[in-house]
Structure 1
Amino acid sequence: MDPVHVLDDKELAERIGQARMDPNKEELDDVVSAITRARNPGIRTPSIKRLVPILNSVRTECITQRIHGPTLEECWANLGWLSTIRLAFQLRSMVSRMRSITSPTAGSLGTGICRSLWLEEYYGVPAKASPAVISSIVNFWHNLVNFRREASKTVEQHKAACAGPTTPEASLAFTHTDLAPRNIILEEATSNLWLIDWDKAGYYPRCFEYAGMRNFRIPSHWGWFGELRWKLFCWIAAGWYEKERIMLREIHRKAGRFPAARRFNIKAGVTPSQKKVDD
């Protein structure tokens, strides 16, 4: 029977709470570290007011400052060209300050775990991976044809598949990775932009920011004019990485379609993994 009809209010509230996708302690530590780091160079992100442990639960709620205003997703259709360009340069300034914060290793600021959508895969990227490891894994998925071909490769062929087309960046930049319009608030009182939802933030290749800004379904009420302005907005704010965006979208699709394909490359000792590969 449907629990809505048999549980009282307290029991139903507890059931809903258990079903919510809230961060575990490690994820919460990463979020807190990202928000704290972002605020130091003056990036507008809501401050953390309280961390509240939930009774009878392993969850902890992160209570942040409330910013009064709509998200860009809500108000975008009503903005014109001048507002688009003005706000784009606001965000460009914040992204530039974030990119000035660099690291020799990838991943979140607290644990070093790679939480970016573009690195999600079955075997996982090791925590605090080097730029060379990130590049080699991206190259592997870009060059993947099918599972059967991976099983028959020699070690040299596995190495060649991870050698290009991307090359390691000298350092990795502090990146939000999910600056979709739902995560950007236009403050009513000041017309300033505020960035929220830092769950996936960390140190990653610079193209990840642009790819994240383009990774959402365009609302139908935006129309072609709104879509065109958003492309301009992304270009001004994060730079032009269209070729890289298309590549990242494709490797994300491949990682979902052939989840175990990298096992042969890992066993050949070419790319490392977070999860152990069975013999």
Structure 2
Amino acid sequence: MHTSASYPVSVTIHGEQGTGKKTLVSALHKHVYIRDQDNAAFLFKAQLANESTKNLASVSFVLVDAAHPKQISNEVMSLARESSALTCILLTKPDLISAEGSNDYFSYLYQMHRLPSEFDCDCFAINITSDKGICQVMHYAANSVAPLPKPLSWKAFLQRSCSSCLDFIATLFSLPTDRPPIDIDAELAAVQTQDDVDRLQDDTRTIAWNDDLKHRLRINPSWGTPGVHRITPSLVVKETGSFERATMEYVRKHTTILIPNLYHSHLGSLLMDFVDGEMLYECWDRQTWFMQFRIACTLRTYINQLRTLKRPNVGHVEDGYVNGIFFSEGDYGPFESISSFRRFCTRVAYLGWEILARRALSSYEPQEPLPNKNFDWSPTFVHGDLNMTNIILDKRGRLWLIDWGNAGFYPPCIESLAMRHSNEMILQDTVPSSWSRYRQFIAGATSEDEEKFWDNVYLGFIHRFAGVSFR
């Protein structure tokens, strides 16, 4: 058979006794693997790891007995990482696991998702006594040495072309974004210290506005005051962390999105402009179909601007922590890489899936497939909470975005999925269908795999990680 290229692949094998190390070395050593996609040849050199192993290997495999898993020692993992640039955990002997649905079965699946998150490396299960299992190992190692180029997709090309056409239409019909001139020097002079803020929050006019806001939001009066207070005719103050100020300043610097101006960075609270208008939650149904379309077009242009903002890792602008709707309002991270974030989320998604799988077993219903993590994880900037209460249409017909507490760098699907979550779970009894239909136009289409994955993440955090925070 003609091969297009030839590559040497060196492998070191680590693990406890009884995990199949010698069997795997024998199966790999001096074996030539031909990759089907391009006929490239890979000549394997495999050896058992020891203290004198040099840092020359292509891949280190750490073997764990799936039927009787033991904790991987830090010494073993350190040696594996020192002996190669890439480390992967292999769960061997999965054929010895008890029947599907047993406690041992769920324990095995949990290990499959815990180990990658804990050690920040790939992990998969193989039967090293079968040709199929050995081919899996060689295919993984070959792709790490010489990755295959991503194939061109006509579907992706057509999707991009369609999206560009919709972007053009959105730009034509979007609302103006000019800012009105304001003069609030006198009001700012009255708010110099946090004591001034606290005093103004106790003013009868502020209390009356808070009560009116709770009524507009249909908040139970006994639930206390909302997190935002109108302390002067032109200023509101919000109780939040410094990360939201950093986020809003970042968005103001890099986009033309209408967001409130910020003042007095020395204050413990967030002091900003009061936007004189109505939340979409209040006024959407009173708009004409054409005005509703223009609002959706404006939001699409806003989201497109945010998606031009990228960085390598996920999280807040200021500190890299992640939070938001799907994280049960906790703070997690910061994560060293997008792959470590993906592995962490996959572990939590499994926990959510396991809850549903056990319920299905108890009621003799079919189980859903395991969560599929194979979608775009490249971090782009998202608002993270585009529900109808966080979008204000002012009296001049301009559209403002408020509440940037969940914003940061996340996989692009998060924007649309957060809207879906608000529309279908949080505000499902009050959100009009005419608004819900615009979700994919505004924030992009989401696949069934993405929706199920993040639904499982949400469920996993609520039931297994509730109250846990890394901050």
- If the length of structure 2 is used for normalisation, what is the TM-score? 0.42
3-state DSSP of counterpart to 1:215: helix
Query: What is the aligned partner in structure 2 of residue 108 from structure 1?
Result: 316
How far residue 232 of structure 1 moved from its aligned partner, in angstroms, is: 2.3
Task: Provide the rounded CA distance (Å) in 1 between the counterparts of 2:328 and 2:429.
Answer: 28
What 5-or-longer segments of structure 1 have no aligned partner?
A: 1-9, 54-59, 150-160, 263-272
Task: Provide the rounded CA distance (Å) in 1 between the counterparts of 2:252 and 2:274.
Answer: 15
Query: What is the aligned partner in structure 2 of residue 218 from structure 1?
Result: 427
3-state DSSP of counterpart to 1:64: strand
How far residue 136 of structure 1 moved from its aligned partner, in angstroms, is: 1.8
* 22 and 181 in structure 1: CA distance in 2 versus 1, 3 angstrom threshold: closer
How far residue 215 of structure 1 moved from its aligned partner, in angstroms, is: 2.6
How far residue 146 of structure 1 moved from its aligned partner, in angstroms, is: 4.0
Query: What is the aligned partner in structure 2 of residue 4 from structure 1?
Result: none
How far residue 129 of structure 1 moved from its aligned partner, in angstroms, is: 4.2
Q: Which of 252, 259, 282 is the aligned partner of 1:74? A: 282
The question of 1:93 aligning with 2:298 is answered: no
The question of 1:240 aligning with 2:445 is answered: yes
Q: Which of 234, 241, 259 is the aligned partner of 1:45? A: 259
Task: Provide the rounded CA distance (Å) in 2 between the counterparts of 1:200 and 1:121.
Answer: 9
Query: What is the aligned partner in structure 1 of residue 247 from structure 2?
Result: 34
3-state DSSP of counterpart to 2:318: coil
3-state DSSP of counterpart to 2:438: helix
The question of 1:125 aligning with 2:332 is answered: yes
Q: Deviations over 1:188-243 (max 9, x none)?
A: 11x22110011111101111111222233337565xxx22x112221111001153
3-state DSSP of counterpart to 1:34: helix
Query: What is the aligned partner in structure 1 of residue 8 from structure 2?
Result: none
Q: Which of 170, 193, 207 is the aligned partner of 2:413? A: 207
What is the count of residue pairs matched by the alignment?
Answer: 223
3-state DSSP of counterpart to 1:186: strand
How far residue 113 of structure 1 moved from its aligned partner, in angstroms, is: 1.0
Query: What is the aligned partner in structure 2 of residue 135 from structure 1?
Result: 342
How far residue 35 of structure 1 moved from its aligned partner, in angstroms, is: 0.6
How far residue 128 of structure 1 moved from its aligned partner, in angstroms, is: 4.1
Larger strand fraction of residues:
2
How far residue 68 of structure 1 moved from its aligned partner, in angstroms, is: 1.3
* 174 and 231 in structure 1: CA distance in 2 versus 1, 3 angstrom threshold: same
* 131 and 99 in structure 1: CA distance in 2 versus 1, 3 angstrom threshold: same
Q: Deviations over 1:76-95 (max 9, x none)?
A: 12223322221111011011
Residue identity over aligned pairs, in percent, reads 23
Computed over aligned residues only, the root mean square deviation of the Cα atoms, in angstroms, reads 3.5
Task: Provide the rounded CA distance (Å) in 1 between the counterparts of 2:340 and 2:354.
Answer: 21
How far residue 106 of structure 1 moved from its aligned partner, in angstroms, is: 0.7
* 52 and 215 in structure 1: CA distance in 2 versus 1, 3 angstrom threshold: farther
Q: Deviations over 1:109-132 (max 9, x none)?
A: 01111122223488x632144221
3-state DSSP of counterpart to 1:214: helix
* 21 and 197 in structure 1: CA distance in 2 versus 1, 3 angstrom threshold: same
Query: What is the aligned partner in structure 2 of residue 61 from structure 1?
Result: 269
3-state DSSP of counterpart to 1:133: helix
3-state DSSP of counterpart to 2:278: coil
Q: Which of 184, 189, 195 is the aligned partner of 2:401? A: 195
3-state DSSP of counterpart to 1:249: helix
Preserved contact between residue 377 and residue 412 of structure 2 (Cα < 8 Å): no
3-state DSSP of counterpart to 1:104: coil
* 43 and 129 in structure 1: CA distance in 2 versus 1, 3 angstrom threshold: farther
AA aligned to 1:29 is: S
3-state DSSP of counterpart to 1:241: coil
3-state DSSP of counterpart to 2:333: coil
3-state DSSP of counterpart to 1:75: helix
The question of 1:255 aligning with 2:464 is answered: no
Q: Deviations over 1:223-277 (max 9, x none)?
A: xxx22x11222111100115324432332122211238x9xxxxxxxxxx948xx
Task: Provide the rounded CA distance (Å) in 1 between the counterparts of 2:307 and 2:387.
Answer: 18
Task: Provide the rounded CA distance (Å) in 2 between the counterparts of 1:259 and 1:211.
Answer: 20
Task: Provide the rounded CA distance (Å) in 2 between the counterparts of 1:108 and 1:125.
Answer: 11
How far residue 179 of structure 1 moved from its aligned partner, in angstroms, is: 0.8
Query: What is the aligned partner in structure 2 of residue 185 from structure 1?
Result: 392
The structure with the largest alpha-carbon Rg is 2
* 248 and 93 in structure 1: CA distance in 2 versus 1, 3 angstrom threshold: same
Query: What is the aligned partner in structure 1 of residue 237 from structure 2?
Result: none
3-state DSSP of counterpart to 1:63: strand
Specify which structure has the bigger relative contact order, considering alpha-carbon pairs within 8 angstroms and separated by 6 or more residues.
Answer: 1
- If the length of structure 1 is used for normalisation, what is the TM-score? 0.68
AA aligned to 1:249 is: D
Task: Provide the rounded CA distance (Å) in 2 between the counterparts of 1:90 and 1:36.
Answer: 21
